[in-house]
Amino acid sequence: MERQVSYRLVRCLGEGGMGTVYEAIQTGAYEFSKRVAIKLIRSKIAAREEFIRNFVGEAKLVAQLIHANIVQTYHLGSYRDAPFIVMEYLDGMDLQQFQHILAAREKYVPVPLAVFIASRVCRGLAYAHGKTDANGMPLGIVHRDISPSNIVISREGDVKITDFGLAKAGNLMLDGEGKVVMGKSRYMSPEQAKGEATDARSDIFSLGVVLSEMLVGVNIFQGADSSEEKLRVVEMEIPDLRTLRKDLDPALSRILKRVLSRDPAKRYPNAGDLLVALERHIYSDGYGPTSETLGKYMKKHFEHRLPDAGRSGETRMIEMK
């Protein structure tokens, strides 16, 4: 009889509003073994139908998003009557960890690498925003939680978007717009902070906040609490980032000014257009950073902070149904 696929949890990678993500070892027939990431729905919300629907909706949505800059979903399973998602495992760290380590060393993210990271996120967003269903109808995907903790950088320099748990997309998810404000307040777009309808341009604003944070070392909307941060997103005058980082290129400053426009109509109309602007900026002289460049930077500056591929872990098993 063929051996049933199972998973051994190795370590916790992080917790979000919907679930906990673990590094795991998938095992199968003929001594098959593969490292994966598993997202388990949090026990406190596992009994609530709306959360189950969104958790399952995330898996079904991301399963359709096959792109180099989006973490892949492999399987949706069930464990003790609760769903779990099996995903691509990236040997690396999220952008939040990346920035914290540099900040502790009093370093900025190098400008070319910051723009390169943002451009890879743009590639993933352009693909997701333009995704259609089997009948060619737009899915209307908006991630709604573009932030450093949801951008992963691998040891090899690959950049990928993860955690579509707060996304809105057709009828797959309960989007809650107009009733519930979802996302991390300091990375929200103004329309998102006000509970208004969002579209792809909302993710563009959020990515602008992420890029500005990489460049100047601080989140420009950071406040004492989420209420203050939402107010700042909606009302605070957007600073000229060159006052915060003197060596910032004026052309890049102009790109950011447009990205961070409070009026969505004044932003780049789509992630593809922003991608063109960012890539023109970093490759204007015919040469610029690549995944290999970022990978070398990761290995040089973060090697001792990257996970050990040989680490043994917990013995907790999940039998896939």
Question: Active-site residue numbers?
Answer: 145
CA atoms within 13 A on the CB side of 63: 13
The amino acid sitting at 73 is T
The amino acid sitting at 224 is A
Alpha carbons 260 and 268: distance in angstroms, whole number: 10
End-to-end CA distance of the chain: 16
Alpha carbons 85 and 38: distance in angstroms, whole number: 6
Query: What stretch of H or E contains 207?
Result: helix 200-216
Please check whether residue 73 is in contact with residue 123, taking contact to mean a CB–CB distance below 8 angstroms: no
Cα dist from 123 to 118, 140, 207, 236, 271, whole Å: 9, 16, 12, 29, 7
Residue 38, SS3 per DSSP: strand
Residue 18, SS3 per DSSP: coil
Query: What stretch of H or E contains 84?
Result: strand 82-88
